[in-house]
A and B are shown apart, each in its own frame.
Chain A
Amino acid sequence: MLLSNKARSATHARSRAGLLSRLDLVGSPYLFVAPFFVIFGVFGLFPLLYTAWVSLHDWDLAGDAGFVGLANYADLFADPDFWNAVVNTLGMFVLATVPQLLLALVVASLLNQRLRALTFFRMGVLAPIVTSVAAVGIVFSQIFDRDAGMANGLLALLGVDPVDWRADKWSSWLAISVMVDWRWTGYNALIFLAAMQSVPRDVYEAAAIDGASKIRQFWGITVPLIRPAILFTVIISTIGGMQLFTEPLIFGQGGYAISGGSLRQFQTVAMYMFEKAFRDFDYGYGSAVAWMIFLLIVVFALVNFLVTRRAR
């Protein structure tokens, strides 16, 4: 009797342990991903989807003033300030990205040789990524200052008159592109370097035997073989470029900061969204701008993808 009781309770304990461990086995995965999905769902996914809903409403500080369908988008398409911001964004994107990726290719191929102090060089080119965008904006604002800036000092050495960098489209775009390039060239170079290191050496040896010069090898072998990495950086740069915000904002300084200069000469789409939503409190219109940024990213990522894939 005593024995069988003991035996029974042992079986009971075992089956309870079995149940627990089965619960553990089935339930744990969900428990493990749950914190992520709860926080991500509330603060990440929901706002993303809700933006679409808000963009279809007349919505301001007082709240939702009713469904207006696509009226915000219709207004947006007729809004010259919006198109000005689109042109500025695209202009700065091209002006920044093309030299940036070319420079990164050159730096990467230099780093891809047998070098002493390799870590020193790699860390040196990567150093800019550590600084915040706000810091970059502040330092380069000084460098591109009209009266006290180093850029104008250098130009004076060449006999060029001082440039009022903030005053015109071309000069402000150029200054802002320099900031972007300074921060990201090293990062892209490291990505190219990683890809270059996976290119087999014997391909180059064969080409060298055939008498191909270093430069021919670079365009004929390296560039085509690291095309996936180039594609990756082009897409990343597109996403970043279409969202350009902080550099022009800080470059602007003072009262006209969010409008990108007195004549909106360097206002980007992201700045325009911010102006509409957080200065004019027109949330509906701001949300429509947000969707247009997304559309820009998709369209240009696609265009770049196709162009880069075809280019040889």
Chain B
Amino acid sequence: MRNSGPLVYLTLLVAIALSVFPLYWLFVVATRANDVVGDWPPPLTPGGNLGENVTRLFAAEDANFLLGMVNSAIASITVTVSVVFFCSLAGFAFAKLRFRGRNALLLVILATMMIPVQMGIIPLYMIMVELGWQNRLQAVIVPFLVSAFGVFLMRQYAERAVPDELVEAARVDGCSTFGIFWKVVLPALRPGAAVLGLFTFMGTWNEFLWPLAVLEADNPTVQFSLSQLSSTYYTDYTLMFSGTLIATLPLLVVFIAFGRQIIGGIMEGAVKA
């Protein structure tokens, strides 16, 4: 196959420009003063107002943006650690251990993966009311400490990445089953766990519908704060955009640092499916 011509590069560059432009525009508006928004031609270079906008953002009434950031950080880290650990544990058990009822249990997990989470949101809310967890951070953490998708993913990964002989050898050496998991299996699962962790972190950070249902404006997650901004300050674009920029920044950093793994994870998952 010969190298591609300039037309291919040109088309791809246009595609990239389209896909990155809204992010760039987000940055430009976040650094500008409010009165330039809506000018034609629109400003396409960053201005010097970012500091002032961010100060206004954190002082914005009713949005509780700082608390939203802290809440989202706590929730995302807790959920990610827990999902990676418990899904690796269960995935290992499903892939490499023999036990009665294994296939039936796996089938339950697979079946529920097809059903949208939204369907259970009303009873889930009722459970939170019973537990007294409305407007409390555990409401957006505890239900998501495990994930059916995660178990499925880690099981697939363990099937390939952990040879049966390795498990047998460790057992002959007198290792307990948990010891095998901790010392032998978990290190072998690390690349799969990294992808699951990245997706879980992004998913929890970006979760929108459920926090909106169970939390209130005085104890929001970061996406909830953003929705507060956009309903209260919807003419103050610089304020909204600096909030959106700051809320997206952690994910952009993660994406730039782990982009290859994320792409690998998506492409691998697609081939499997």
CB-based contact B267/A130 at 8 Å: no
Min CB–CB distance B22 → chain A (angstroms):
5
Min CB–CB distance B19 → chain A (angstroms):
5
CB-based contact B93/A121 at 8 Å: no
- Nearest CB in chain A to that of B11: its residue: A110
Number of A-B pairs whose CB atoms are under 8 Å? 279
Bound CA–CA A32/B29 (angstroms): 50
Secondary structure dominating the interface of B: helix
Instruction: Please indicate the chain A residues that have their CB under 8 angstroms from the CB of B55 in the complex.
Output: none
Binding stretch for chain A, among B57-65, B189-197, B222-230? B222-230
Interface size in chain B (residues, C-beta < 8 A): 97
A74 at the interface (CB under 8 A from B): no
CB-based contact A290/B248 at 8 Å: no
CB-based contact B148/A126 at 8 Å: no
Instruction: Please indicate the chain A residues that have their CB under 8 angstroms from the CB of B223 in the complex.
Output: 132-134
Knowing A113-B8, A135-B244 touch, does A190 contact B146 (C-beta < 8 A)? no
CB-based contact B123/A250 at 8 Å: no
Secondary structure dominating the interface of A: helix
- Nearest CB in chain B to that of A186: its residue: B19
Bound CA–CA A40/B152 (angstroms): 14
Interface residues of A (CB under 8 A from B): 21, 24-26, 28-30, 32-33, 35-37, 39-40, 42-48, 50-51, 54, 107, 110-111, 113-115, 119, 121-128, 130-143, 145, 147-150, 153, 156, 182, 185-187, 190-191, 193-195, 198, 201, 228-229, 232, 239, 242-243, 245-246, 249-250, 253-254, 257, 270, 273-274, 277-278, 283, 286-287, 290-291, 293-294, 297
Interface residues of B (CB under 8 A from A): 1-4, 8-9, 11-12, 15-16, 18-20, 22-23, 25-26, 29, 37-38, 40-42, 86-87, 89-90, 92-94, 97-99, 102, 105, 108-109, 112, 115-127, 142-146, 148, 151, 176-178, 181, 202, 205-206, 208-209, 212-213, 223, 226-227, 229-231, 234, 237, 240-241, 244, 247-248, 251-252, 254-256, 259-260, 262-263, 266-268, 270-271, 273
